[in-house]
Chain A
Amino acid sequence: MRPNKNEESVTRRDFLAGAAYGTVGLALGLNSACSEAGKDTAVSFDPVSMAKSLFRAENPVSRVVLVRDERALDADHNINAGVVAEMIDAAVKTLSGEKDAARAWQHYVRPQDTVGVKYTRCESVRVHTEQEVIDAIVARLADAGVAKERIQAADYGLRLKQCTALINVPTIKVHPLTGIAVSLKNYINFTGRESSYHHEGSVKLGEAWLLPDVQGKTRLIIVDALRPYFGPGPQVSPVHRWDYRGILAGTDPVAIDAISLAIAQAKRNLFKGEEWIISPPPTSIATADTVYHLGTSDPLKIQLIRQGWEKDALV
């Protein structure tokens, strides 16, 4: 008789006790919940301070830069392309340690590269990578010496075999099947079997990064965090988008996603005025760390460098 798969379930209890999904619980602000069953530990509710206490590694394995600018969006959510380009420049310069933007980009691409800029654009879900972000990145790739004809920017249809370098340009959206969708999930359509990586299958999302035409090609991740989404889905309700006015940059997709997760979780808690845990837990982040070794999700190994506008940064 086959063993019942359910008998080996990871349950909500395991998750809340910190016994499942590695450090994802920490990024969700559940560290105060790590208690033994039966102990009467009231959960402190201060989502911002919980999130802000994370990602302060002094000897980091991964660094992530967060740049925010109040001028990036106006009151009607219109994007200021010039400001967004400045934010991306600032993020990449800080990440690389260069003072000049073109030189900063040369840390990540070479003139002989064929570069794929993988953005996200779903017709019905409508949390697209903004065109202004894509345009700024493509312009900087050209400034770094990559010929225009060697730059591809697409959601679907990147000619991966030709690409020698990938720039991953996702948005941040809470997702009803995978918990959250940021840089790790942005490669899901490289698999050609998107649905099989949803729901329970999202634990294997890291596989997309190990496909022969993908593995080792990601040079830089730039997250469009101008207007993330934090609601229950399935499609986006504008009620659950907010003007965060941020750009994240890094090279570690797991660290990037862990920080994005903390931002989205803090926003959900603030919105409801109580703990509103992202569901289902984003197992793809934990397994990208522990199974696929794509980076680290451990806040103690991630250093977040914040620049610019600090109001409601949430992390």
Chain B
Amino acid sequence: MTLSTQAPMADALRQPTSAARSLAVAVALVVLGAWAAGRARGEEKMEQLLPAKTAGWSAAGADRYYTRDNIFEYMDGAGEIYLAYDFQRLLVREYEKRAAPRIIAEIYQMSSSEDAYGIFSHDPEGQPVTLGQGAIYGAGLLRFWKDRIFVRVLAEKETAAAKAAVMALGKSIDATIPRAGKKPRLLTALPLPGLLRESVHYFHTQVSLNAHYFLADSNLLNLSPRTEVVLARYLRNGRRVRLLLCRYANAVAAKAAFEQFNRIYFHDRSAPKLPGRVEKVERGEFVSARWDETFLILVFEARDPRTCEALTETVVKRVREVFR
């Protein structure tokens, strides 16, 4: 039976019939189409972003590529965070120089510039430097984003020469990425007064939220790849408060998340007070929740209810200005 099912294909390969020729043409078109689509997305250019040499360091060993399917081979225990940002491909190239620390360059291709910004915002600690559309350097590690690309360049040990090489490599990569991309539009809904800029994280799902700010062990806010979330801190009356701004695919989803938060976080099984509420919780802190069309606006760690209300009102106003 096995042989008989393979026979038609074997025959077709020996004696091309019109059907086989059609099949071959179709396959070729599919391959060509995929290649063209990849080219349009710039996927084949990843290695072109990296020079063969930089500041006396030379590429060593073969380039390594990773995709969504095998990212864990490279970063067991960390891949989930990249996948939560719709990571597409990773290129790793190492550079060596005699009697000097190795330099490892990682080029991450995300599916959108918003997600490249998002993974960049995951760890904002370090000294800001002028590179790409946002860059940070600290203790031998340079990170930046531009368009759909997120870049990490790490010197295994920081020396003056290694730092110079890391920065030179960063500049080279930056120059090779042809254009800038869009930042998440949701960021423009953040009121600027009192915003602690280094506290801003942009993401989509529960995995990312819990890595920054544990809210619940389940998906309390119904976050998904379709949601956009900004977590940020504000200085209000000498105290830092936390804003969680969630944008859902539609108002029904946003309202459902608000109701679930009301029910579980505020322990209130009755119909929630619309459009929002403020509650005093543990440690004398105040938490507020507000539903506004496709948005859910949460404020945590406030010292008084007025702080929650004022920040929420400002955010609602901004959201309406930006999105309606």
Chain B nearest CB, measured from A260 CB (Å): 16
What are the nearest 7 A-B pairs in CB distance?
A234-B78, A238-B139, A176-B211, A234-B81, A40-B284, A239-B138, A124-B75
Residues of B within 8 A of A123 (CB): 74-75
A277 touches B207 (CB 8 A): no
B58 at the interface (CB under 8 A from A): no
Chain A nearest CB, measured from B18 CB (Å): 48
| Beyond known contacts A194-B77, A234-B79, A239-B141: 14 more, CB 8 A cutoff | A10-B216, A16-B283, A122-B76, A125-B77, A176-B78, A176-B211, A177-B211, A198-B77, A199-B210, A232-B125, A238-B140, A238-B158, A279-B211, A280-B210
B274 at the interface (CB under 8 A from A): no
B280 at the interface (CB under 8 A from A): yes
Residues of B within 8 A of A241 (CB): 139
Which residues of B214-235 are within 8 A (CB) of A?
214-220
B139 touches A41 (CB 8 A): no
A6 touches B80 (CB 8 A): no
Chain A nearest CB, measured from B276 CB (Å): 18
A38 CA / B287 CA spacing, docked (Å): 12
A279 touches B213 (CB 8 A): yes
Which residues of B39-97 are within 8 A (CB) of A?
72, 74-82
Chain B nearest CB, measured from A40 CB (Å): 4
> Which residues of B come within 8 Å of A, CB atoms?
72, 74-82, 106, 122-123, 125-126, 138-141, 152, 154, 157-158, 207, 210-220, 240, 260, 263-265, 280-284
A237 CA / B175 CA spacing, docked (Å): 24
Q: How many residues of A contact B (CB 8 A)?
A: 56
Residues of B within 8 A of A195 (CB): 72, 79-80
A7 at the interface (CB under 8 A from B): yes
Chain B nearest CB, measured from A286 CB (Å): 11
A235 CA / B213 CA spacing, docked (Å): 18
Interface of A is mostly: loop
Chain A nearest CB, measured from B224 CB (Å): 13
Residues of A within 8 A of B210 (CB): 199, 279-280
B81 touches A233 (CB 8 A): yes
> Closest chain B residue to A194 by CB distance?
B76
A122 touches B283 (CB 8 A): no
Residues of A within 8 A of B74 (CB): 123-124
A281 at the interface (CB under 8 A from B): yes
Chain A 163-197, CB within 8 Å of chain B: the 1/0 string? 00000000000011100010000001100001100
Residues of B within 8 A of A122 (CB): 75-77
Residues of A within 8 A of B158 (CB): 238
A232 touches B141 (CB 8 A): no
User: Among A38, A41, A235, which residue has the most Cβ atoms of chain B within 10 A?
Assistant: A235
A128 CA / B196 CA spacing, docked (Å): 34
Chain A nearest CB, measured from B87 CB (Å): 11
Take A6-B218, A279-B212 as given contacts and tell me if A234 and B281 are in contact as well, using a CB distance cutoff of 8 Å: no
> Closest chain A residue to B300 by CB distance?
A12
Take A9-B217, A234-B78 as given contacts and tell me if A41 and B283 are in contact as well, using a CB distance cutoff of 8 Å: yes
> Closest chain B residue to A198 by CB distance?
B80
Residues of A within 8 A of B283 (CB): 16, 33, 35, 41-43
A240 at the interface (CB under 8 A from B): yes
> Closest chain B residue to A6 by CB distance?
B218
A149 at the interface (CB under 8 A from B): no
Residues of A within 8 A of B154 (CB): 126, 238
A161 at the interface (CB under 8 A from B): no
A122 CA / B75 CA spacing, docked (Å): 7
Chain A 268-281, CB within 8 Å of chain B: the 1/0 string? 00000010010111
Residues of B within 8 A of A237 (CB): 123, 125-126, 138-139, 141
B284 touches A42 (CB 8 A): yes
Residues of A within 8 A of B82 (CB): 234
A234 CA / B231 CA spacing, docked (Å): 17
- Complex partner residue of A37 from B81, B138, B282, CB under 8 angstroms: B282
Residues of A within 8 A of B76 (CB): 122, 125, 189, 194
Residues of A within 8 A of B280 (CB): 37-38
B218 touches A239 (CB 8 A): no
A292 at the interface (CB under 8 A from B): no
Residues of B within 8 A of A9 (CB): 216-218, 220, 264
Residues of B within 8 A of A8 (CB): 218
A125 CA / B152 CA spacing, docked (Å): 12
Residues of B within 8 A of A199 (CB): 80, 207, 210
- Complex partner residue of B77 from A6, A12, A181, CB under 8 angstroms: A181
Chain B nearest CB, measured from A259 CB (Å): 21
Residues of A within 8 A of B215 (CB): 11-12
A274 CA / B241 CA spacing, docked (Å): 13
Residues of B within 8 A of A200 (CB): 217-218
Residues of A within 8 A of B106 (CB): 124
A35 touches B139 (CB 8 A): no
A15 CA / B211 CA spacing, docked (Å): 15
A237 CA / B139 CA spacing, docked (Å): 8
Residues of B within 8 A of A188 (CB): 77
> Closest chain B residue to A185 by CB distance?
B77
User: Among A43, A124, A126, which residue has the most Cβ atoms of chain B within 10 A?
Assistant: A124
Take A125-B75, A177-B77 as given contacts and tell me if A76 and B122 are in contact as well, using a CB distance cutoff of 8 Å: no
B207 touches A7 (CB 8 A): no
Residues of A within 8 A of B217 (CB): 9-11, 200, 280, 283
A13 CA / B267 CA spacing, docked (Å): 10
B265 touches A16 (CB 8 A): no
A5 at the interface (CB under 8 A from B): yes
Which residues of A29-82 are within 8 A (CB) of B?
33, 35-43, 76-77
A33 CA / B207 CA spacing, docked (Å): 25
Take A35-B283, A40-B284 as given contacts and tell me if A277 and B139 are in contact as well, using a CB distance cutoff of 8 Å: no
A176 CA / B157 CA spacing, docked (Å): 24
